[in-house]
Amino acid sequence: MNKVLAFLTCMLPLVYCVSAQAQEIPTAGQPPIVQDQSKLPHVVIVSMGGTIASRAKDRMNLTHYGDGPPVDPKDWLHDLPELQNVARVTTEDMRSKGGDKFGDIARVAHRLNELAKDPTIDGFVVTHGTNTMAEVAFYMNLVVNTDKPIVFVGSQRPWSGISGDGPLNMYDAVRVAADPDAKGLGVLHCMNQNINAARDVTKTSAYRVETFKGLDVGSLGFADPDKVKFYRAPVRKHTTESEFAGTDLKELPPVELFYSYTDAPGYVIDAAVQHGAKGLVIDGYGAGVPSPSQAKAMTRAQAKGVIIVITTRTRGGRVQEVPARAKAHDVNGDNLPPEKARLLLQLALTKTHDWTKIQQYFNTY
């Protein structure tokens, strides 16, 4: 018995030490807030909704959310008081109530062009659903006439989700929009600490948080914990240098997309032309090759004045300039994915139907 008591006596300090150590783990606290907000950059968060603006009733519901109350833009300011140390943040609620449609994109583009004229605003953050975010950001990159930072952000998990990526993505996006080095770089995209150009970024995974990448060219920089760091700048024209800057369109010419695969039929192309398509984007296999049936339908479409752009379904590498394409008057889509090529072709068709001039647009933007 004495030996047991002696052993327990020896163990008590260790038990106490372990217990005390566990209790010393600090609870999360808020950092001191900058008192003089007037000296901070003014950043406007424009909400176009998306997963980052969604909640679920269950924290483990990461994919079928929407049954919880939506996130009002002011909720982000309440839930992330740390933003007050980065910028003076105000919000604009421009969420759509009818799903993805061009009218919503045009409405926000118009508003961004208006807000960009306000000398008291230094930058913008635009939230959007990740499914079509990259193409919408590219459209803004072409039509918004400002050198102020515009940073698109979203999340792969709802605001209510366990280990949600939304809060840090939002915090980093505001940091980038407030950073003077982001000025003049065009529309940017910031998620998972990566900063990409709107032209180059692509969603590569349905659910993973590391989904957005610049496949061919990589990131422009990173929102590291200590500072925002840029390593390169885009070389393609954008925003203030774009011929479409300040464009206020309510609709765009109809352009349809077609995916190439073994025995892909041409009759669907004929049907699109019959229904009024003014342009086609053919997402070819390999380096941009249509199926034989598609190729014949493309010739029939061009005879009716339809402009055709070729992209590649590989999502890496550019569609090269070869004599056969020039002879056929096919426009090389460079390394744009088809959804972005479609938007650029639609904008180009508001200016011209000359395929050589449209090729210049694809070489420029």
pLDDT (tens digit per residue) in 311-321:
999 999 999 99
Instruction: Give the pLDDT score at 163.
Output: 95
Q: Is 312 annotated as catalytic?
A: no
pLDDT (tens digit per residue) in 1-44:
555 445 444 444 433 333 333 323 344 566 777 767 889 999 99
Q: Is the CB of residue 77 less than 8 Å from the CB of residue 92?
A: no
d(CA 165, CA 191): 9
Q: Is the CB of residue 107 less than 8 Å from the CB of residue 94?
A: yes
Look at the pTM and tell me if it is higher than 0.85.
Answer: yes
Instruction: Give the pLDDT score at 33.
Output: 77
The tokens for 261 are: 């695969």
d(CA 153, CA 134): 10
Catalytic residue among 51, 130, 247, 311: 51
Cβ partners under 8 Å of residue 32, min gap 6:
none
pLDDT (tens digit per residue) in 203-236:
999 999 999 999 999 999 999 999 999 999 999 9
- The percent of residues in the chain predicted with pLDDT above 90, rounded, is 87
Q: How far is CA 19 from the centre of its chain?
A: 47
Instruction: Give the pLDDT score at 135.
Output: 98
Backbone angles phi, psi at 194, to 5 degrees: -95, 135
- SS3 label, residue 338: helix
Give alpha helix (H) positions in 165-205. Answer: 166-178
User: Sign (positive/negative) of CA torsion 320, 322, 325, 327?
Assistant: positive
Torsion angle of C-alpha atoms 316, 318, 324, 328, degrees rounded to 10:
100
Nearest C-alpha neighbor of 50 from the set 107, 132, 112? 132
d(CA 261, CA 258): 10
Instruction: Give the pLDDT score at 29.
Output: 66
Q: Which of the residues in the chain have pLDDT under 50?
A: 4-5, 7-27
Q: Which domains does the chain have, with CATH numbers?
A: 37-241 (3.40.50.1170), 255-364 (3.40.50.40)
